[in-house]
């Protein structure tokens, strides 16, 4: 939207400046833009405000001593998006005996520059003159008393003009219905000002590291004026939307100093008396840290929980979740995370039980995800075997007998088996049938056959009777899926 004005000559203002200022009608005390004109004001001047949002504006003309939008208000009117060309005129002062053609004893004032203008006439010390009762307006320019009054020497009269709309054109439905007026591309850390309000701010950094976008100060941001942030494109993982100064961002009942957006996330904010409120959002803000299973590891803004090391600067939202939402027992040092259980007889002997937790990484710039997938990271089941692919099952806990982030190893429950026969031998090279202990059934009776050697112990190994497959862990039939965490 553009506003073009013609500011008429004002010879009665001999020293002060004329300031034309525009205001958003929703914040009538905040100047959106202004232009200053120095005395003398002997000729009309053109005023242009371009690239404005298509909203309703208040336009004031001030007689100012210092060039600020303050002082004596000489003119005010409203411009709407449909008013394409509006002409305004400052108040005209005429003094009997001073203004040319207007002397003491006069009953009228003739001025052809008044043609086509709509105005009222104020008599200083008396007030506004009523058209049709006190005066009549000439279409040829000027006015005259009709109540018999005669002008006295030195009397001052002021004409107040209404703006003239010379061309009026409605906006197209697309523009008139647009919620936002423009897109602003931001690729690095920046502090926005009020000109960003009413726009979509698209965030697309050339770096993977998170960067900050600071909101405009609420003091210069009209209430209820929206701004939209769209994190899309570029190489960044995260963008921090930061409140300015003492301002806050209210989200889910909390007053925050910042919110972070990942790729392809969007959030709409509006200011209300110093607090930015979230109008709508299409983000993972409510589900950061949530675990999910998926047949694809390409779910947006998720990572596979495979023990990888991450940058705190690149994933600030997840790092904040770990520090503020989880039990402290779920966060261990990198050394503890990599610690192997060396206690003989321990349930987790020779395993790495802390790899199911988060680590603090290098202590300053990184952190590490837990291993929640079937992996060799947990080590071997004995000190003679290479690491085996084990683990990868999540189990619901009750917060009393089992706490989050605790490891439970494989176990076999009580079982019952019908065994038709067992034969145990202590074989030698010379006598393979020596020391036989045979247990079994014939068709009619139990047969127990003892050899001549005492057996002190025996190893019994089970296997699948169909496929002869032996597993390293007791498993139920399952379907594989990726274990993901939202960042």
What pLDDT, in 10s, does the model give residues 12-59? 888 999 999 999 887 888 899 999 999 998 888 888 888 787 778 899
> Are 388 and 242 in the same domain?
no
Q: pLDDT value at position 458?
A: 41
Q: Which of 281, 297, 323 is the last residue of a domain?
A: 281
Number of domain units in the chain: 4
The answer to whether residue 461 is domain-embedded is no
- Token pair for 407: 């490891």
**Choice between 476 and 414, residue whose per-residue pLDDT is larger:** 476
Contact 159, 10 (CB under 8 A): no
Task: With CA atoms as reference, report the closest residue to 240 among 272, 276, 203.
Answer: 203
Sign of dihedral through CA atoms 38, 39, 40, 43?
Answer: positive
Average pLDDT over residues 282-304: 90
Residue 47 sits at φ, ψ, to 5 deg, of: -125, 130
Lowest mean pLDDT among 25-39, 51-65, 302-316, 418-432: 418-432
Q: Classify residue 305 by burial, with Cβ atoms within 10 Å: 0-12, 13-18, 19+.
A: buried
Q: Is the pLDDT of residue 196 over 60?
A: yes
The model's confidence at residue 171, banded by pLDDT at 50, 70 and 90, is very low
Range of the domain at 189: 179-281
pLDDT-based confidence at residue 471 (cuts at 50, 70, 90): low
Q: Answer yes or no: do 82 and 97 share one domain.
A: no
> Are 13 and 73 part of one and the same domain?
yes
Mean pLDDT of 91-112: 93
The enclosing domain of 259 has a CATH number of 2.60.120
**Is the pLDDT at 172 greater than 60, yes or no?**
no
Tell me whether residue 437 is in a domain.
Answer: no
| CA-closest candidate to residue 270, choices 230, 238, 229 | 229
Q: Is residue 64 part of a domain?
A: yes
Q: Place 302 in a pLDDT band, splitting at 50, 70 and 90.
A: very high
pLDDT at position 467: 54
State the average pLDDT over residues 452-467: 47
Query: How far is it, in rounded angstroms, from Cα 441 to Cα 273?
Result: 91
| 267 lies in the same domain as 185 | yes
Q: 112 lies in a domain?
A: yes
Q: Is the pLDDT of residue 436 over 60?
A: no
Same domain, 192 and 325: no
Q: Hey, is 484 helix, strand or coil?
A: strand
Among 120, 135, 162, the domain boundary falls at 162
Q: What is the pLDDT of residue 346?
A: 86
Residues 153 and 271 in one domain: no
Where is the domain boundary, 87, 121, 154?
87
Checking if the pLDDT of 197 tops 70, the result is yes
């Amino acid at each position: 939207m553009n506003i073009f004005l013609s500011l008429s000559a004002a010879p009665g203002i001999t020293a002060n400046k004329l300031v034309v200022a525009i205001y958003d009608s929703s914040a009538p005390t905040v100047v959106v833009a202004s232009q200053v004109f120095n005395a003398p004001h002997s000729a009309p001047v053109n005023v242009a405000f371009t690239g404005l949002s298509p909203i309703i504006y208040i336009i004031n003309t001030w007689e100012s001593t210092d060039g600020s939008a303050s002082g004596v208000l000489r003119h005010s009117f409203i411009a709407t998006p449909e008013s394409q060309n509006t002409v305004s005129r400052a108040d005209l002062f005429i003094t009997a005996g001073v203004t040319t053609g207007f002397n003491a004893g006069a009953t009228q004032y003739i001025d052809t520059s008044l043609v086509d203008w709509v105005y009222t006439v104020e008599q200083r010390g008396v007030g506004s003159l009523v058209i049709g009762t006190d005066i009549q307006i000439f279409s040829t320019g000027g006015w005259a008393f009709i109540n018999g009054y005669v002008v006295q020497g030195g009397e001052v009269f002021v004409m107040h003009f209404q703006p003239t709309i010379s061309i009026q054109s409605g906006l197209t439905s697309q523009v008139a219905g647009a919620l936002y007026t423009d897109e602003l591309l931001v690729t690095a850390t920046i502090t926005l000002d009020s000109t960003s309000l009413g726009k979509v701010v698209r965030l697309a950094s050339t770096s993977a590291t998170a960067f900050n976008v600071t909101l405009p100060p609420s003091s210069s941001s009209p209430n209820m004026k929206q701004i939209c942030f769209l994190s899309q494109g570029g190489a960044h993982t995260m963008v921090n939307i930061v409140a300015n100064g003492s301002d806050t961002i209210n989200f889910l009942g909390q007053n925050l100093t910042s919110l972070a957006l990942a790729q392809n996330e969007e959030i709409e904010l509006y200011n209300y008396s110093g607090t930015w409120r979230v109008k709508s959002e299409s983000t993972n803000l409510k589900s950061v840290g949530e675990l999910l299973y998926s047949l694809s590891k390409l779910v947006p803004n998720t990572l596979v929980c495979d023990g990888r090391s991450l940058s705190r600067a690149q994933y600030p939202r997840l790092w904040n979740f770990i520090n503020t939402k989880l039990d402290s027992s779920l966060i261990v040092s990198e050394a503890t995370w990599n610690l192997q259980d060396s206690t003989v007889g321990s349930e987790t002997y020779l395993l790495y039980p802390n790899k199911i937790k988060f680590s603090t990484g290098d202590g300053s710039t990184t952190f590490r995800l837990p291993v929640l997938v079937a992996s060799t990271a947990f080590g071997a089941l004995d000190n003679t075997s290479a690491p085996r692919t084990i683990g990868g099952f999540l189990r619901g806990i009750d917060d009393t007998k089992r706490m989050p982030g605790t490891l439970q190893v494989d176990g076999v429950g009580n079982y019952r088996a019908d065994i038709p026969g067992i034969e145990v031998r202590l074989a030698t090279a010379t006598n393979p049938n020596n020391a036989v202990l045979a247990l079994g059934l014939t068709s009619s009776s139990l047969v127990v056959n003892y050899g001549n050697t005492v057996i002190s112990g025996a190893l019994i190994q089970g296997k699948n009777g169909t496929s002869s497959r032996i597993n390293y862990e007791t498993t139920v039939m399952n379907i594989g899926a990726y274990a993901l965490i939202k960042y």
